[in-house]
Amino acid sequence: MKKETKNKITKLLGLVPIANADITTIAQNAPGVSKKADVLQIALSFINFAIMAIGVLGVIMFIVAGFLYMTASGDQSKIDRAKSTMTYAAVGLAVAVLGFVVVATIQRYFVTGA
């Protein structure tokens, strides 16, 4: 066997204990992690973060579109590009707000049981 193949096999076999580890036990014993944290709560936290990131990107794109519009200097193609960027930024913000509403509703009825 070549030395490279032996190294690859050794590295892969070294990962077997990690792959067999019970991830919930590791997560529950990690410092700063609540014992009551479950998959749904983690998923909702991730989705909330993603929606906030989309909202921030939407605001940034709205600012960029305004800058493009102001610096168009009467060039119709640049003005059209700025308007389309502004439209897409507004649609992105609307999707982010709608996504936040949907996630908040799901969280309210299924997680907290209200």
Is residue 12's pLDDT more than 80? no
The CA-to-CA distance between both ends of the chain, in Å, stands at 63
Of 26-30, 41-45, 61-65, 73-77, minimum mean pLDDT range? 26-30
Q: What is the model's pTM?
A: 0.58
Is residue 18's pLDDT more than 90? no
Give the gyration radius of the chain's Cα atoms. Answer: 24
Between CA 29 and CA 14 the distance in angstroms is 22
Identity at 20, one-letter amino acid code: N
Backbone angles phi, psi at 34, to 5 degrees: -70, 145
Q: Please tell me which residue, 9 or 107, carries the higher pLDDT value.
A: 107
Q: Which two tokens stand for residue 75?
A: 């060039």
pLDDT in tens, 53-98: 888 998 999 999 999 999 998 899 999 999 999 999 999 889 888 9
